[in-house]
Amino acid sequence: MPQIHELSAVEQAAAVRRGELRSIDLVEHYLTRIAAHSDTVGAFVTVTPDAARAQARTLDEVPPAGRERRHPGPLYGVPVAIKDLTLTAGVRTTFGSAAFVDHVPSVDADVVRLLRAAGTVSLGKTSAAELGCSLYTEGEVAPPARNPWDLTCTAGGSSGGAAAAVAAGLVPFAQGSDGGGSNRIPAALCGLVGYKPTRGLVSGGPLGAGGFGLPSHGPIARTVTDAAALLDAMAVPVPGEPYLPPAAPAGGYLAAARAADPGRLRIGRFTTPMLADEPVHPDCVAAVDTAAALLADAGHDVVEVPAPLGPQLWPLFETIWYVLALSPVPPQRQNQLLPLTRLLRERGQAISAATLVTTLSELQVQVRRAMHAVAGLDLLLCPTLSRPQAPVGWFTETGDPAEDFDRQRRFSPYCAVFNVTGQPSVSVPVADSAAGAPVGVLLTGQAGADATVLAAAAQLEQRAGRTGRHPEIWWADGSATVKASEPQRAGGAATSRTSDIR
């Protein structure tokens, strides 16, 4: 019989509804795995076992007939994890920084409240890059987030702990956030599905000014259907948000993913990096080739197109990124920030209001041109990253934070463009590198077409046939089991090394 964590999140909830499992069974199973493996992969910075057990027992006490009324949707009783950048009332939330090591918010982010309302049970906070500033997660409040496929490599960032937790089987799915690729980058590295919704689809409240529209909460999951189910729970309109959310599809995003039938699409394929003039690793190009062939075989019209934006966007994006790094930090604790964060904040403080306004205006001009260029396409297909993996410590190894930041730009020259445009974008694992590491591709749709993106991603996922593959740590130290068909066990640990990087 398979272990609990071998079931998808949606399957776990179905087992709870049928009475085959209780929510407390799921919670105890995952808490056992977290205790055994979290520090190994740097997944959690704060675990909340007592609160999780209490919430699970409360859910189990509700009679089956009343569960849908109290917590509608398909996720009743399923554990989840919340990113350490996301406000959670009464739970230590450090924003990945030693400067906030003892910070306990008094308010929940809207997305935390909505996930609780859907009947999910938070197990705690997953490690994140300091203030969300980097695409790796190697701070001072938790062990570095390591890739479960190869512990010498990074799990990415800024949602690195979330991806490490999901890939290692420590939680069925996780909440993340994506301001420049922060969900999609870790997902690509760890063989997962990472989703960035259309701008405005998921509330960023109740605090904050919206980050110029770049960041969005979204799911990290093992399957597209689990990601879609988590998105349904998050994508509830909240008054006062600065961006108008698109209308939800009939039946929700889970129905679109389950159907895996987006209709015949016109898909523009490209591999040219957009934010850097950077050679793309052959394994990343090969993954796009694989995805293009699978999508063409599904009946879609896949055509070669120019990249919609180019390196001229980078100076504009980096200006905005510097300003976004200016999150309030107590003056007496600023010396506890990491060198990269201090560099970004120093550059942000030097940007005048006039420069910022001019930058935002020019950025919108570039976005308009790009959207006109891709208006006849339903989807864009490109690599998620320029290289398959990066070792832990590789970005910081020179000791120069400016070099660190430039390495990040060259490593991820695709994802952030779609934060700027506000389009829905998902990383889907489709192939392995020559060293055996998972490699993802990006599918990006028109604004508001999240259902199409998820349906196409589910179709690609089915044809790629990779959902049964897991790293070796996945199979370690199992506990409870449940009656279900045995999933296919596949693949051992990858052995990607620095040769994938340079």
User: Residue 286: which CATH number?
Assistant: 3.90.1300.10
In-domain check, residue 260: yes
pLDDT of residue 490: 35
User: 151 burial class (0-12, 13-18, 19+ CB within 10 angstroms)?
Assistant: middle
In-domain check, residue 440: yes
Alpha carbon 337 to chain centroid distance?
24
In-domain check, residue 502: no
In-domain check, residue 214: yes
pLDDT of residue 1: 59
Residues forming the active site: 83, 158, 182
Q: Measure the CA–CA gap between 364 and 463, rounded to whole angstroms.
A: 37
Q: CA 261, 266, 271, 272: dihedral to nearest 10 degrees?
A: -140
In-domain check, residue 250: yes
Which strand (E) or helix (H) includes residue 455? Answer: helix 450-464
pLDDT of residue 209: 87
Q: Measure the CA–CA gap between 225 and 10, rounded to whole angstroms.
A: 8
Under 8 Å between Cβ of 139 and 130 = yes
Q: Token pair for residue 405?
A: 């930041």
Among 268, 257, 201, 296, CA closest to 456 = 257
- Which segments in the chain show pLDDT lower than 50? 479-502
* Count of domains for the chain: 1
Is it true that the peptide bond before 206 is cis, omega within 30 degrees of 0?
Answer: yes
Q: Token pair for residue 84?
A: 């350490």
The label of the residue with tokens 């020179």 reads 398
Quick one: DSSP state of residue 310?
A: -
In-domain check, residue 382: yes
pLDDT of residue 477: 74
Containing structural domain, residue 209: 4-497
